[in-house]
Amino acid sequence: MYWFLVILTFLLAGIKTEKPKKYQKISVIIPAYNEEDTVAKVVEVVKKVSFVDEIIVVNDGSSDNTTEEAEKAGAIVITHETNKGKGEALFTGYKEAECDIIAFIDADIYNLTSKKVEAMIRPILEGKAEITKTKFARESGRVTELTAKPLLNFFFPEISFEQPLSGQFAARKEILKKINFEKDYGVDVGIVIDADVLGISILEVDIGAIQHDMSPLADLNLMANEVVRTIINRANKYGRVTMIDDIGQYIRMAIVGLSLVILGLFTIFFVKFVPLAIAVILTIIGLILAIYYIIKVVVQSIVIFKKTPGKNIVRSFIKIHFPMIISIIILLLMISTFIGAAHFDNGILSIEPNSRNLIIYADNTPSNNAISARGPYTIDTAIENEYEQIRMPSDAMMTLGVDINDTIVINNNEYVINETRPGEPDILRLPIDAQKAMEVQTGSVIQNSRLKEIFGGAGITHNFNDENSSISENYIISSRDKVSCKYEVFIDNASTVSSYGIFKDNCTYDITVNGEQVTSVTYINKTFIDNTTEFAYADHEIKITFENTNSTSIKQFLRQEQNIFLNINI
């Protein structure tokens, strides 16, 4: 029994118990100036919130019965002998409060509820934020929309609250020690800006609709002046005026320099009628401007960054610096393209940029990609033991109308087309004999548009395969023709192949089945004598239809004296 008790004691001691959360005392500060009609009701609503420990009403020099009404409702009242402003009232309450969390609530709200108060404070209790500010439906908001939001968006674009001037706040007291309390109506926006710059987490909480007295125009004018002054002062303090003004000017000049460099390089390589000397001068001037002003931008940015204690300025930096960053990226891409096209041979540096070709099919040409960017391709030698193969990028295959396992004949030598190796998306591997026949060499860079020129005259056997048949067409790669024709093969009433290419006028084209010639078609006066050819073969019904199209093609089908145009295997 003794050993059982000892073991049970150790087991109980080993069970981890959750450490009780430290109690957090909460104070509510209510600034009031001549609010005898509503202050008592606000206090009574706050008293219903179970976790509120202290309610302090700061009577900011009222001339009515604000103090008496607040005391009757059960609040602690601190009185200013004269009216000092909302900010001073909040600061007085903050200094006197003995708490961990403080909520600031206006004294003139008619429809305040305990749920609204709880919604303000609970996110802080739950650790979701260090400061909460409220947003709510109301009839006013003129100062917010006409002054606060435009100025904040200009100087502090990372601040995007719906109601930055909301008078209802809650925060940890230790956090408020870092905040500079304005003495007047600028206190609300000042807290928002300071918290943002210091990197303090703020959560905007929707508490629904509120009703309070509409301020007269004179008071709104005073409020707007105080809000504008606060935002401008904070913008100066945190270097945002410099960022918008000085850095903005430096960035604009840096972009001018970068643009001149881009223009100069483009002119050197692509604009023949502009003298080389002028293009070089443009490039040098642009480079000097760009380097000078980029350095000034970096120096000023570091200065501003040091002025921002919480370093919460990234979004503003991105917004201001974005145009310059894009210009730098464009220039770097252009320079990398030229570097990639540089060749050094026998003491001579040669830069020959080659670009991709943008392919846009504007007619009814059959294509898997209506728009694509292809090439350029770099010539390399065939891999060992692949001297009868040509490895070709997929984009090049689409341009030539070929596919894997097709056959290509170059200078009477036959090669099988294969796909490129992994990691070689733009490498065109040609055996040495094929290179000599096409007058290219290893290392040559070929634009997509030149493929038909280089492969011109090569014979192609292009294969179509399905479960029950295989069909091959034979053509020569030629110059592009604007008038091509489409043909479609039906086997047992099922469409098997649809393709297109060039038929030469006044020529006959042979069709075979399983290697046996069965029929031919004739193309005269740019049309077919028979647009449909039908015949039976080994219990199969075969039909081939022809029609002219408006598509262009580089595929010139082999006529009767050259070879078979179409072979069907079933």
Domain boundary among 237, 269, 287: 237
pLDDT value at residue 15: 47
pLDDT value at residue 10: 47
Q: Where is 235: in which H helix or E strand?
A: helix 217-237
Per-residue pLDDT, averaged over 347-364, amounts to 72
Q: Is the predicted pLDDT of residue 513 greater than 60, yes or no?
A: yes
pLDDT value at residue 98: 86
pLDDT value at residue 318: 75
pLDDT value at residue 214: 62
Of residues 145 and 77, the one with the higher pLDDT is: 77
pLDDT value at residue 216: 63
Per-residue pLDDT, averaged over 386-411, amounts to 93
Per-residue pLDDT, averaged over 317-345, amounts to 82
Q: How far apart are CA 201 and CA 129, in angstroms?
A: 5
Cα 395 to the center of its chain, rounded Å: 27
Of residues 219 and 355, the one with the higher pLDDT is: 355
**Residue at 14 is within a domain:** no
Domain boundary among 185, 211, 237: 237
Report the candidate in 524, 566, 561 with the shortest Cα–Cα distance to residue 545: 566
Please check whether residues 153 and 219 belong to one and the same domain: yes
**Residue at 177 is within a domain:** yes
Residue in the block written with tokens 């490039």: 283
pLDDT value at residue 134: 86
Stated length of the chain: 570
Domain coverage including residue 523: 459-569
Q: Is the predicted pLDDT of residue 83 greater than 60, yes or no?
A: yes
Please check whether residues 207 and 79 belong to one and the same domain: yes
Question: pLDDT per residue over 236-270, tens digit each?
Answer: 787 676 666 777 788 889 999 999 999 999 888 88
Q: Give the pLDDT band of residue 337 (cuts 50, 70, 90).
A: confident
Per-residue pLDDT, averaged over 260-282, amounts to 89
Of residues 551 and 276, the one with the higher pLDDT is: 276
Q: What HEC string does 361-406 produce?
A: CCCCCCCCCCEEEECCEEEEECCCCCCCEEEECHHHHHHHCCCCCC
Please check whether residues 405 and 374 belong to one and the same domain: yes
Average pLDDT across the chain, whole number: 84
pLDDT value at residue 17: 38
Q: Where is 296: in which H helix or E strand?
A: helix 276-307
Q: What is the pTM of this model?
A: 0.53
Please check whether residues 78 and 192 belong to one and the same domain: yes
Of residues 550 and 115, the one with the higher pLDDT is: 115
Please check whether residues 220 and 71 belong to one and the same domain: yes
Taking the CA atoms of 237, 239, 240 and 242 in sequence, report the sign of the dihedral they define: positive
Residue 412 belongs to domain with CATH number: 2.40.40
Q: How far apart are CA 504 and CA 490, in angstroms?
A: 24
pLDDT value at residue 178: 87
**Residue at 16 is within a domain:** no
**Residue at 10 is within a domain:** no
Exposure of 125 by Cβ count < 10 A (0-12 exposed, 13-18 middle, 19+ buried)?
middle
Q: How far apart are CA 99 and CA 172, in angstroms?
A: 9
Helical H segments across 425-474, by residue range: 432-438, 451-454
Q: How far apart are CA 131 and CA 123, in angstroms?
A: 9
**Residue at 19 is within a domain:** no
Q: Is the predicted pLDDT of residue 19 greater than 50, yes or no?
A: no
**Residue at 141 is within a domain:** yes
Cα-based distances in Å from 322 to 294, 418, 426: 13, 45, 33
Q: Which residues pair with 528 in a beta bridge?
A: 523
Please check whether residues 182 and 248 belong to one and the same domain: no
Exposure of 5 by Cβ count < 10 A (0-12 exposed, 13-18 middle, 19+ buried)?
exposed
Please check whether residues 84 and 218 belong to one and the same domain: yes
Strands 348-351, 342-345: pairing kind: antiparallel
Neighbours of 463 (CB within 10 A): 16
- Which of 75-89, 144-158, 164-178, 329-343 is least confident? 144-158
pLDDT value at residue 213: 64
Strands 566-569, 485-491: pairing kind: unpaired
Report the candidate in 480, 313, 454 with the shortest Cα–Cα distance to residue 392: 454
In one-letter notation, the amino acid at residue 191 is I
Question: pLDDT per residue over 208-226, tens digit each?
Answer: 877 766 666 666 777 788 8
pLDDT value at residue 368: 57
Total domains, the chain: 4
pLDDT value at residue 467: 78
In one-letter notation, the amino acid at residue 97 is A
pLDDT value at residue 259: 93
**Residue at 18 is within a domain:** no
Per-residue pLDDT, averaged over 143-166, amounts to 77
Residue 183 belongs to domain with CATH number: 3.90.550.10
- Which of 49-63, 187-201, 343-357, 548-562 is least confident? 343-357
Please check whether residues 480 and 450 belong to one and the same domain: no
Neighbours of 383 (CB within 10 A): 13
Cα-based distances in Å from 271 to 263, 277, 336, 445: 10, 12, 19, 21
Per-residue pLDDT, averaged over 521-541, amounts to 90
Domain boundary among 316, 345, 374: 345
Of residues 18 and 90, the one with the higher pLDDT is: 90
Please check whether residues 187 and 69 belong to one and the same domain: yes
Q: Is the predicted pLDDT of residue 13 greater than 80, yes or no?
A: no
Per-residue pLDDT, averaged over 412-421, amounts to 94
Q: Is the predicted pLDDT of residue 70 greater than 70, yes or no?
A: yes
Contacts of 477 (CB under 8 A, 6+ apart): 400, 452, 455, 456, 457, 458, 460, 554, 555, 556
The tokens of 286 are what? Answer: 């642009």
Cα-based distances in Å from 302 to 125, 189, 242: 37, 26, 12
In one-letter notation, the amino acid at residue 20 is P
**Residue at 13 is within a domain:** no
Please check whether residues 271 and 363 belong to one and the same domain: no
Question: pLDDT per residue over 480-501, tens digit each?
Answer: 766 789 999 999 999 999 998 9
pLDDT value at residue 309: 61
Please check whether residues 209 and 263 belong to one and the same domain: no
Please check whether residues 291 and 337 belong to one and the same domain: yes
Per-residue pLDDT, averaged over 459-470, amounts to 88
